[in-house]
Amino acid sequence: MTIIHAPWLFDGVKVHRNLAVAYDRKIVAVEPFEILETRFPEAETIRLDADRLLMPGLVNPHVHLEFGANTTHLRYGDFMAWLQSVIEKRDELIDACRAACYKGQVEAMLQSGTTAFGAISSYGKDLVACKAAPQRVVFFNEAIGSQPAAVDALYSDFMQRFEASAKAADARFIPAVAIHSPYSVHPVLMRKILSEIPDAPLTAHFMESPAEKAWLERGEGPFRDFFEKFLGQSRPLQTPGQFLDSLDRPALLTHAVQADETLLETIAQKGHTVIHCPRSNRLLGCGRLAVEKLNEKGIPWFPGTDGLSSNTSLNLWEEMRAALMLHYRAPLEEVARRLLRGATADAAEALKLPVGRLEAGYGADLIVVALPDAPDDAAQVPLQALLHTKKAETVIIEGEQHA
């Protein structure tokens, strides 16, 4: 048993002063230090300095590790130009990301304080690295392919990858399902997978770019030329609304930048959540996610980094800072608090992970971050943490210290 006394504590929802956490593999109690010290006299005790913040470990719900070798290989500024560059450089980048590349990405996330992440795996090449990661991992095997004649082969390939991840499953490694997007997965393939794997966590890219919106809603735009050239396909296979109707369980929808009022209503009604990737959206010319509309409709949203194919780091602090500056019309303290809650309690809940809160019974995934000075105002703590933090000073996963 260990007790950490924190002058400042963020429990996943609120900031508190002068509380302590008693934990082993799970959190046993959160109370004033004097009470816990009396209750657990044999426990190891740690007293943090006045400028330290104790909080749940960060949860990054959307990461692509397989393209982690990218630096300047891909073209930014426009989604279709980026996609074309991905197609041209895909094999080169995937071959270049070997064991050290995967390990480096995992370690970088760990050092920044990410204690759980959702890995979107298109080919299964990151399975070994994700299984070996000290973090909790939700391993999203991704389905992709829209050609009708290839549905059976694509389904077989997907199931082989899913079954390989299922064999590695344990309490900290959870096999899951990703449907790439409404435009890239045949509805029959999607239905087969969802019916075969009914209970796994589910995610999908959804309404990311103006090109996707024009293609799915009107059969127009640059995607029309793309699909005719590469797949001989002259019309979309489903509308965005039909795609949402086909999801048989609450899903984590990444991006949703181009979702209109009707689609947002459906997302809210079906209990889906939205992963917000502001840096990726900016680099690919996708636009701004109108989080104020999500707030109005009660749609949970939280930050994710996407992968290094469309970002410069997997650091959630940097992602949250980008979001903080992007949504400049909302009150600053409110946005900061929402982002910090999103990166802990909300993301963990959406991924069905027993972490994200400093509360008795939750997993002991904790981090300590250093602020520039001891804060004077509890309301400013989330903001100051977002503004100044680059990495965690201490990282604890399931009661074990990793950094």
Q: Indicate which CATH number applies to the domain containing 386.
A: 2.30.40.10
Same domain, yes or no: 276 and 134: yes
What does the block give as tokens for 246?
């086909």
> What residues contact residue 114 under an 8 Å CB cut-off, 6+ apart?
57, 58, 59, 60, 135, 314, 316
d(CA 186, CA 155): 11
Q: Name the band, by pLDDT with cuts 50, 70 and 90, for residue 170.
A: very high
Same domain, yes or no: 323 and 384: no
Over the stretch 354-397, which tens digit does the pLDDT of each residue have?
Answer: 999 999 999 999 999 999 998 889 999 999 999 999 999 999 99
Over the stretch 211-244, which tens digit does the pLDDT of each residue have?
Answer: 999 999 999 999 999 898 877 888 999 999 999 9
Of 321, 387, 359, 349, the C-alpha closest to 54 is 359
Q: What is the pLDDT of residue 151?
A: 96
Same domain, yes or no: 112 and 251: yes
Same domain, yes or no: 360 and 322: no
Are 137 and 80 spatial neighbours (Cβ–Cβ below 8 Å)? no
Over the stretch 130-166, which tens digit does the pLDDT of each residue have?
Answer: 999 999 999 999 999 999 999 999 999 999 999 999 9
Q: What is the pLDDT of residue 230?
A: 77
Paired sense of beta strands 366-370 and 52-56, if any: antiparallel
Q: What is the pLDDT of residue 232?
A: 80
Taking residues 284-308, what's their average pLDDT? 98
Taking residues 79-92, what's their average pLDDT? 95
Full domain range(s) for residue 264: 58-350
Over the stretch 317-352, which tens digit does the pLDDT of each residue have?
Answer: 999 999 999 999 999 999 999 999 999 999 999 999
Are 343 and 351 spatial neighbours (Cβ–Cβ below 8 Å)? no
Helical pair 316-326 and 381-388, crossing angle rounded to 10 deg:
120
Same domain, yes or no: 366 and 271: no
Question: Which is the catalytic residue, given 208, 318, 349, 398?
Answer: 208
**Does 208 qualify as catalytic in the annotation?**
yes
Are 313 and 285 spatial neighbours (Cβ–Cβ below 8 Å)? no
Residues 289-294: contacts with CB under 8 Å, at least 24 apart? 289/255, 289/256, 289/257, 291/327, 291/330, 292/327, 292/329, 292/330, 293/261, 293/264, 294/264
What does the block give as tokens for 262?
């009707």
User: Residue type for 38, please?
Assistant: T
Over the stretch 7-39, which tens digit does the pLDDT of each residue have?
Answer: 999 999 999 999 999 999 999 999 999 999 999
d(CA 209, CA 204): 14
Are 349 and 373 spatial neighbours (Cβ–Cβ below 8 Å)? no
Taking residues 178-186, what's their average pLDDT? 97
Same domain, yes or no: 295 and 369: no
Are 327 and 336 spatial neighbours (Cβ–Cβ below 8 Å)? no
Count of domains for the chain: 2
The DSSP annotation for 208-245 comes to -SHHHHHHHHHS-SHHHHHHHHHH---S-SS-HHHHHH
Check pLDDT > 80 for residue 403: no
d(CA 339, CA 321): 9
CA angle 397, 41, 44 (to 5 degrees): 35
Over the stretch 119-137, which tens digit does the pLDDT of each residue have?
Answer: 999 999 999 999 999 999 9
The edge-to-edge listing of strands for the beta sheet with 252-255 is: 58-63, 114-121, 136-143, 173-179, 202-206, 252-255, 273-276, 301-303
Q: What is the pLDDT of residue 69?
A: 96
Check pLDDT > 80 for residue 2: yes
Same domain, yes or no: 250 and 364: no
* Verdict on whether the full-model pTM lies above 0.95: yes
Same domain, yes or no: 66 and 206: yes
d(CA 11, CA 6): 11
Same domain, yes or no: 311 and 166: yes
Over the stretch 243-259, which tens digit does the pLDDT of each residue have?
Answer: 999 999 999 999 999 99
Q: What is the pLDDT of residue 10?
A: 98
> What residues contact residue 157 under an 8 Å CB cut-off, 6+ apart?
none
Cβ count near 52 (within 10 Å):
20
| Chain centre distance of CA 203 | 10
Residue 343 is classified by DSSP as I
Same domain, yes or no: 132 and 37: no
Q: What is the pLDDT of residue 233?
A: 86
Instruction: Look at the block and give the residue holding tokens 């980026």.
Output: 82
Same domain, yes or no: 132 and 53: no
Specify the CATH number for the domain of residue 302: 3.20.20.140
Same domain, yes or no: 361 and 337: no
Point out the domain boundary residue: 326, 350, 374: 350
Over the stretch 265-289, which tens digit does the pLDDT of each residue have?
Answer: 999 999 999 999 999 999 999 999 9
